[in-house]
Structure 1
């Protein structure tokens, strides 16, 4: 699995012993924005904190420790939209008309392809991937609250709305087989951290999986995973297995803050931060929890 230390260091660790196997340091003037582990590759997205330069992704071969740029991504890349699954990368880009676009490439390709472009003051959030394609929410500049639309690219060059989500409520989405999907809806705009996780299988009605933490929906292995932050729980769902409790913090630790799940090869990791008072001071403790995905 992979963890970060501060804003400039990423560590690849053994899932069982947590021993550090490889350490990456961001270049001078950059901070680490995103880290993706897909053995034998580690992809790190470096960002300029002043926003004067676009994101700078690098790919590291963990066997040889060699580092290279991502060939298809130009220096004009805009921030955001990053995801990695099965060698396919998504990222924010801009077209010849200077529109903001979601683009896709592979770790070895020298070219990228636009997934979708949007008008000014529109954008994308919570880009994710599953074995069935790329999923994301496209938002507009509506006021007082923007309208999110669930979108999916299930084959190159073909993007469509996802059937099922409540209009303007969707936040994150992962494609399933056929025209199915699992997604999160934010029912209360003033309580954006809480979503209702729903799914729809092809030809069937929409079903609810209960509440989840907004932005935590992640695909790993053969399942969708999401947090229930207030309960300290990591949930797992697939059409074949149904909904399961994968991990729960002990009652004594449920004041901890959990990160969104991170898929790393054949395991999924969550990271917890909690405060510990000691000798009149407050110390923030960070630790990692890993879970295999059989």
Structure 2
């Protein structure tokens, strides 16, 4: 695995990332506990953790009968879990392979979900209708170059009174050296206009390798994320930081036994692993 800082055109970066994410689909189908979703009571680990934070901000404390747009939905395990809460779901992703997998999953489970293939930075133009909830979680906005444009899509998709929810990897975590034997920063926390160009045949979940190994990511400090949402006209309702993560960022992390990972006890309170934001549109 190697990394360089480069200047790159967004269209090229997006298309390069899409090829990589297309390649990840078969590996993730085997790693995302898809078979467990055959149980109607099952929810993905991500949605299980997100619902208690999201639902108190909903009018009746439930997703039932609400219109929900899931941005960067990948293969749909979280999307169908949200649909099982009684919501009408629209899943948005830029990978045709991922959406084909998601659509097949929803069909097998007997769930009616609308799927839209688009660059998330063009979501408002591509998606029909508006929504009570816009949801995104987890490992999402590091793939985006322009958070102001992203936040404008979120605001444009929400109805007045609508709720936006995001849980994602904490930017302080992403600055750490994932291979070190202690907590050491290695990567930029603050942006400088360049992308991090990675060359890695592996993926964070599942066995095998990808043919399209190159990806581009962008660091976004917490201040940039919050200010992008505020500048888009959203009202910040809650900001939390978490000590567990739904994937193993570093070999030093320990399995918590409930689908999450954490630093060893000595480091658990030293660096946040996630942040969660709830915002609303007036």
**Normalising to structure 1: TM-score of the pair?**
0.28
The structure carrying a bigger strand percent of its residues is 1
Larger Rg: 1
Q: Which has the higher contact order (CA 8 A, sep 6+)?
A: 2
**Normalising to structure 2: TM-score of the pair?**
0.29
